[in-house]
A and B are shown apart, each in its own frame.
Chain A
Amino acid sequence: MKIRQGILNILKLIFVDLILEIIYFPLWWYSSGLYRTGVFCLQQIKQQWNNMGLAIHFKFLFKPMYAQRDFAGRVISFFARLIQLVFKLVVFLIFILLFLLIFLLWILLPIIIVWQITINLPANGIPYAG
């Protein structure tokens, strides 16, 4: 008898836990979860900045390439570096956009889901595909 009581208590506890967890879910999504995602995206962008060596490219923009320190060398390397930099910046920009998208998706996903579920409810009378 006592054990059965105990088991019931446990189940009750677990049930309450679950309810609390479900209630906390949206809160977490827009607080702690949002923060973490933001940090993650920023870290990825920063990592990419380092990997592509963009800082180096900016820093050495006016420095001649291949130790060609004469005037022609300087001019040629400036333009060579500039072209390279522009190209790399474009790639980097795409990368930024990608992570911005992920971040936006995190914010919008719950809203989209709720919206989609409501319009797809059987009550709205949308027929099955096919």
Chain B
Amino acid sequence: MLDKSIIISCDKCPSDGKCSSCLDHRNYVILGNYLIYWNREYSDLSVFTDQIRKTIKVIINLILIIFTALGLIAIFYHAYLLKVTNKDLLLLNNWQGAYLLVFWVSLMFAMFLFYRLKRNRFNFEKVVNSNSFDPGSISSQISANYGVNNQKEKLTEKNIYDVLSGDVKKLLVKSWFLSKKKGSKSITSLHLFLSLLKHESVKLIFSRLGINKDSFKQKIERLIEEREDIKQKELSDFEVTMFNAYLLAYKSMSPHIRINHILTALGLSNEDVVELFLDSGVSVDQINNVITWVKLRDDLRGRYKRYKARSIFKPKGAMNRSMTAIATPFLDRFSQDMTYLAKMGYLDLNVARDNKIEEIYRIIETDNNGVILVGQPGVGKDSIIEGLANRMAAEEVPKHLQDKRLISLSLSSLVSKSSVEGQVESNLLRVMNEIIRSGNIILIIQDIHNVVGVTSAGTENVDLSEVLADVIAKYDVMIIGTTTPNDYTKYLERNPLSANLLKVDLPEPNFNETVQILEAKTFAIENKYGVYFSYQAIERIVKLTSNYIHDRFQPSKSIKILEEVAVMVRKAKGKNHLVTAGDVSKIVSEKVNIPLGEVSASESDKLMNLEELIHKRIIGQHEAVKMVSSSLRRARAELRDESKPITNLLFLGPTGVGKTELAKTVSQIFFNSEDSMIRLDMSEYQERTSIARLIGMEGSTEGGVLTEAIRKNPFSLLLLDEIEKAHPDILNIFLQVMDDGRLTDSSGRTIDFSNCIIIATSNAAAFYIQDQVALGTDLKEVKQNLLQSELRPYFKPEFLNRFSGIVLFKPLTPKEIEQITVLMLKKVTKRLENKGIHFSASEEAIKELAEIGFSKEFGARPLARAIQQRVDNSLANFLLTGKIGRRDKVVLERGGEIRIEKAKKF
């Protein structure tokens, strides 16, 4: 915020005598009409003076208190004497004498004490008030280029030291002692920082940031020693810190500079401090946010107390203070009194939603009959209503809402308690009648779309919503309804109700707001479970839930994770433990089934050796494996663009060379299971009409094959087999998916593809690839030709462009087929091992199988058939006739012969 250039260092100061251009302050900042400077020497004498001053002050106060007490004793003793001597207590003449003299003198002392205490409280210098100018644009008020002389108006000088809070003054004395102990001539910002660490509120902030204080302390001590040699500059870091602290206090409109300001200022003015924090994974912004968090707790507590105190005057029952209302026994049967609940303190305080409540006020203050809050489930519609109830109970609302009750009508009980034909309507009318007569009720109808289409019988055509709309329009009944965006468009948009109620959109809170809401929730959760949240954990929750949980909404999805993590940490580590970002990653990662959070050593090993791992299942195709591996590494290191799918790959090549197998392997490695692969045979989507199958039929509630699969399992590998066979319009759909990572299905839901790996395979131009490879053309050239000409008939250039990698699968060589044979025979070995039989194959047998199985056109497919015919069939015969038993050795020989080495019998 503050760069050192706005601190003006006077260059005209003469070596001795007064300087008129800086008023002898040397370094200063000009803020509006004020000249802010720092002047405070720390020496043995000054610190000693301060302490003596303080002690004497306390002594004087003590003496005054003693005198006051003495006076009281004197007057009571005088009364006692009067009583004993049977003199009249009420006679003024009896109230004279030496004791009275003591009393009156002591009363004077008491007044003096009062004056001392009060005057000290009021006469403290305060940080310049920013009311007169806009605190947002400090830079415009700081006139860096002007000297004192250039100012048109007279400047008021302000010493920063005068506005330090008591805590900070103590801190500075401590830092001074520390600097003396370390053999330094003056306080540096590092000394300040070191002594700051011992402060209670800073300890709290550090534990919230998850910083280990002791190691931090050691690092600072080491730094102090290293930095000792550097000569003190004209403008010391320490002074810059104080200037910064002043500006921070000014900006936050705080009358004094407090410990928090010093901490943040240190983070702004000393590079060492910033580095220290960054080393522990903490940024200056995070420190600020934690400070706000700590403040939030006090704010909420203050607000709770204020609401509680102010709501004493709110009547409990149906009656308002002006006594114009009536009792509403019928309404009470179907409803809940929110203002009463608020008065009793049952409702949560709401955070970060002030602007929406203001919007509701605005609408109500105009001539509207109310509002409909439209928001997804879990975005905080109820919490806004609770916030409103709290404010109404405390009467901190505009006139229209004062002295009113907020009543929540339960539609379900209204409907369920109406059994006779036409009773719902008549019950509603009775309820509305009470509301109209009473005149002090604001009605809440949650899920107001439910009134549309409700009738108690088939005979009438008037439905409940029309009855309600009619009443609202005729009599000034104020209604606040809630609904979801879908239901609003579906039921309410063309309903007479929406003509009378204004729509208030309630979007999901943004990142910062969600963090604030979570912070407010932590206090109760921490109390309940006895664990503590680090700030990073909170941030992580919001980040991960936003990125990975898409079927629910903020802040409710974050709050759920918040509680779950607390429970998990409580169970795993016990009470009084810190919930870290790692714990959060663990729980979200379990939920969504993909690895998140810090990469562990074993996982890092795995990632760095991905190629080898994949090659255990895939023979050859080095280029393809490399491309896939590096894209997975990018995804895991969180370097990818998070609004797009993890990666989009196109596998090109003839059949049977391992395209599908590679996709399966990737799914196994990245999502831990082959089942996380969604496979679509695009040959089934050759017609234009099959789009409906993919994204769902218009007007039907069932989703499409593709959209439903991804919605239910957003973390998966989407394999589009033989993509060239799909209808071109379907390819256009995938254009968008690959580019934006999202797709809207037929019912209007947006499906998120950003956690998918999309792999398309294609046999297009397979012959061309085979021929070119056979001719020995360079692969790069082959690829070039493919893109430029050979793939043209199949795909549009913009489609090919969307892939982050187009991978050529080469036809397999005889050597590779041999390796594949070994792999496939291993599978046979494994199957037989389950039966306790050892299987092996001689080298000639393997070679022979490879020769039989090899085919230029079909890749490794014939090999599988060959193994089935030659090996599996004979083995099956042997097994069925009982010729092979447990512990026998079976060897496959040349010519498909099977040799059995019988094991010894027990």
Contacts and interface: CB of A to CB of B under 8 A. Distances in A.
Nearest to A21: B116
Contacts of A21: 116
A120 B97 contact: yes
Interface string B13-54: 000000000000000000000000000000001001100110
A51 B85 contact: no
A108 interface: no
Nearest to A50: B313
B325 A66 contact: yes
Contacts of B87: 129-130
Interface residues of A, number: 42
Interface in A90-104: none
Main secondary structure, interface of B, reads helix
A60 B115 contact: no
Interface in A1-39: 3, 6-7, 10-11, 13-14, 18, 21-22, 25, 28-29, 32-33, 36
B330 interface: no
B324 interface: yes
B888 to A, nearest CB: 99
B511 interface: no
Contact of B104 (A65, A117, A126): A117
B773 interface: no
B94 interface: yes
A129 B81 contact: yes
A14 B100 contact: no
A33 B85 CA distance: 41
Contact of A32 (B45, B96, B122, B324): B122
A56 B96 contact: no
Nearest to B45: A6
Given A33-B115, A113-B108, A66 B100 contact: no
A128 interface: yes
Given A119-B96, A129-B94, A65 B324 contact: yes
Contact of A129 (B45, B82, B325): B82
Contacts of A67: 324-326, 437-439
Interface residues of B, number: 42
A39 B87 CA distance: 41
Interface in A53-93: 53, 56-57, 59-60, 63-67, 81
Contact of A127 (B97, B107, B438): B97
B494 interface: no
Given A33-B115, A33-B118, A67-B437, A121 B101 contact: yes
Contacts of B82: 129-130
B52 A128 contact: no
Contacts of A113: 104, 107-108, 111
Given A14-B53, A67-B325, A113-B107, A120 B115 contact: no
A29 B116 CA distance: 11
A28 B56 CA distance: 22
B692 interface: no
Interface in B419-465: 437-439
B322 A56 contact: yes
Nearest to A119: B96
B437 A120 contact: no
A126 B97 CA distance: 6
A89 B485 CA distance: 53
B438 A53 contact: no
B388 to A, nearest CB: 21
Contacts of A6: 45, 48-49
B519 interface: no
Interface string B101-119: 1001101100110011011
Contacts of A29: 111, 115
Contact of B99 (A10, A66, A117, A129): A129
Contacts of A25: 112, 115
A70 to B, nearest CB: 13
A56 B403 contact: yes
Contact of A36 (B45, B85, B118, B439): B118
A67 B99 CA distance: 64
B100 A120 contact: yes
Contact of A66 (B53, B96, B326): B326
Nearest to B84: A130
Contact of B323 (A65, A110, A121): A65
Given A14-B53, A116-B104, A60 B112 contact: no
Contacts of B107: 109, 113
Contacts of A122: 98, 101
A65 B327 CA distance: 12
Interface string B371-395: 0000000000000000000000000
Interface in B632-653: none
B60 interface: yes
Interface of B: 45, 48-49, 52-53, 56, 60, 78, 81-82, 84-85, 87, 94, 96-101, 104-105, 107-108, 111-112, 115-116, 118-119, 122, 313, 321-326, 403, 437-439
Given A109-B107, A122-B101, A129-B85, 17 more contacts: A3-B45, A10-B49, A11-B52, A13-B49, A14-B53, A18-B60, A29-B111, A36-B122, A56-B321, A56-B403, A60-B322, A66-B325, A66-B326, A117-B105, A120-B104, A121-B101, A126-B96
Q: Which 4 A-B pairs have the closest CB atoms?
A: A130-B81, A120-B101, A60-B322, A116-B104
Interface of A: 3, 6-7, 10-11, 13-14, 18, 21-22, 25, 28-29, 32-33, 36, 51, 53, 56-57, 59-60, 63-67, 81, 109-110, 113, 116-117, 119-122, 126-130
